[in-house]
Amino acid sequence: MIRTVESAPHVSAPVLAAYRYCETVTGQQARNFAYGIRLLPTPKRRAMSALYAFSRRVDDIGDGALTDDVKAARLEDTRALLTRIREGAVTQDDTDPVAVALAHAAGQFPIPLGGLDELIDGVLMDVRGETYETWEDLKVYCRCVAGAIGRLSLGVFGTEPGARGAERAPEYADTLGLALQLTNILRDVREDAEGGRVYLPADDLAKFGCAAGFGGPTPPEGSDFAGLVHFEVRRARALFAEGYRLLPLLDRRSGACVAAMAGIYRRLLDRIERDPAAVLRGRVSLPGREKAYVAVRGLSGLDARHVTRKTVRRRA
């Protein structure tokens, strides 16, 4: 069983300021993530903001305008900072608020910081311009940049005492991360293509006549683009179904956080399925009111109860 600390001791002024900085970064830059973590108690919300702010820094290096060699050097500098955090070498008066907040969070919760090393590894794959022949190849990347985030988050959430099957929680968190990342890949297929990145497996692209890529607002001539999207949507739905088995293993507010974040992406997937070509015309997104509805639904526990009922039926 994974345990967490529900109530943190007194937080010093420098650490509190560092958390506030991370929460500001999260509120300003996390389009979907912020809706979920608002549902958490303060210690967990702060810790998740610290994780997001560090992850955002890594992503921004990879997505920035620096040359590839400079990006790689910056990522290794970030890895060195992570090593300092892991070794307890970051003090509360350090000038880097993200490092201060993450170091404090790692002292309060059993966060597997190695997951952030995996994230750095994944972004280095982007910097090197790696492509993926098969889904098995792409899964390696997705586990680095998203599955690892699921496992890191589980370190903050913890599992409910006595929850049956809690030993599989990291596996479910990882799988849910894969579902979110595959949804991201579908949503951003044209934006990524314009940036010179191709994530969908080459085998899948060839199968549906899309090997020419996605450089414009219309599918490649003669391709079955809708078939490709529907194929990847089914794959993502299967990942969601497996990953959602995490929900009954969490306490109510942690489960609400996960249900809100995952629910937003599932609704994005629904929109993409209804109109596959929309991802070539622009970014598919949900209005704020719909995201808020998903968050409320998560807090109600509807998704967790639904998963629990399905699991009970399978066991019966």
Give me the CATH number covering residue 41. 1.10.600.10
* Residue 118 is assigned to a structural domain of this protein: no
Are 178 and 265 in a shared domain? yes
* Residue 246 is assigned to a structural domain of this protein: yes
Does residue 136 contact residue 209 with C-beta atoms inside 8 Å? no
* Residue 6 is assigned to a structural domain of this protein: no
* Residue 23 is assigned to a structural domain of this protein: yes
* Residue 302 predicted with pLDDT over 80: no
Are 175 and 234 in a shared domain? yes
Q: How far is CA 137 from CA 144, 201, 203, 209, in A?
A: 12, 8, 11, 20
Give the residue among 301, 271, 299, 302 at the shortest CA–CA distance from 286.
271
* Residue 9 predicted with pLDDT over 90: no
Output DSSP code: residue 218. Answer: S
Give the per-residue pLDDT at 300: 63
Are 272 and 201 in a shared domain? yes
* Residue 173 is assigned to a structural domain of this protein: yes
pLDDT digits (tens, 9 = 90+) for 203-229: 999 999 999 888 788 888 899 999 999
238/241 Cα distance (integer angstroms): 5
Are 289 and 150 in a shared domain? yes
* Residue 191 is assigned to a structural domain of this protein: yes
The arithmetic mean of pLDDT across residues 26-31, rounded, is 86
* Residue 4 is assigned to a structural domain of this protein: no
Task: Tell me which residue range forms the domain holding 147.
Answer: 131-315
Please identify, among 81, 110, 139, the residue that sits at the C-terminal boundary of a domain: 110
Are 176 and 297 in a shared domain? yes
Does residue 25 contact residue 52 with C-beta atoms inside 8 Å? yes
* Residue 309 predicted with pLDDT over 60: no
pLDDT digits (tens, 9 = 90+) for 68-97: 999 999 999 999 999 999 999 999 999 999
Please identify, among 56, 77, 110, the residue that sits at the C-terminal boundary of a domain: 110
Are 106 and 140 in a shared domain? no
Are 186 and 275 in a shared domain? yes
Provide the angle, in degrees to the nearest 10, between the axes of the packed helices 68-86 and 114-127.
Answer: 180
Please identify, among 110, 139, 163, the residue that sits at the C-terminal boundary of a domain: 110
Give the per-residue pLDDT at 301: 59
Tell me whether residue 187 is exposed, middle or buried, using C-beta atoms within 10 angstroms of its C-beta: 0 to 12, 13 to 18, 19 or more. buried
Are 22 and 137 in a shared domain? no
Are 55 and 179 in a shared domain? no
The fraction of the chain above a pLDDT of 70, given in percent, is: 91
Quick one: pLDDT band at residue 303, thresholds 50, 70, 90? low
Give the per-residue pLDDT at 97: 98
* Residue 8 predicted with pLDDT over 60: no
* Residue 295 predicted with pLDDT over 90: no
* Residue 307 predicted with pLDDT over 60: no
Output DSSP code: residue 200. Answer: S
134: Cα separation from own chain's centroid? 21
Are 167 and 293 in a shared domain? yes
Q: How many domains does the chain have?
A: 2
Give the per-residue pLDDT at 105: 98
Give the per-residue pLDDT at 286: 82
Please state whether 222 falls in left (phi above 0), alpha (psi between -120 and 50) or beta. left
Beta-carbon contacts of residue 164 (< 8 Å; ≥ 6 apart): none
Are 93 and 143 in a shared domain? no
217/32 Cα distance (integer angstroms): 25
Give the per-residue pLDDT at 179: 97
Please give the backbone phi and psi of residue 84, each rounded to the nearest 5 degrees, phi first: -60, -40
Average of per-residue pLDDT values in the chain = 90
Give the three-class secondary structure for 2. coil
308/312 Cα distance (integer angstroms): 6
* Residue 7 predicted with pLDDT over 90: no
Specify the length of the chain in residues: 316
Give the per-residue pLDDT at 2: 40
* Residue 121 is assigned to a structural domain of this protein: no
Q: Where are the alpha helices (DSSP H) in the chain?
A: 13-29, 33-37, 42-63, 68-86, 97-108, 114-127, 135-142, 148-157, 169-187, 189-194, 202-207, 225-243, 252-274, 278-281, 288-300, 302-315
Give the per-residue pLDDT at 181: 97
Higher pLDDT, 1 or 133: 133
Are 139 and 277 in a shared domain? yes
The fraction of the chain above a pLDDT of 90, given in percent, is: 76
User: Cα-Cα-Cα-Cα dihedral of 247, 137, 188, 239, to 10°?
Assistant: -20
pLDDT digits (tens, 9 = 90+) for 114-159: 999 999 999 999 999 999 999 999 999 999 999 999 999 999 999 9
Output DSSP code: residue 6. Answer: S
* Residue 33 predicted with pLDDT over 90: no
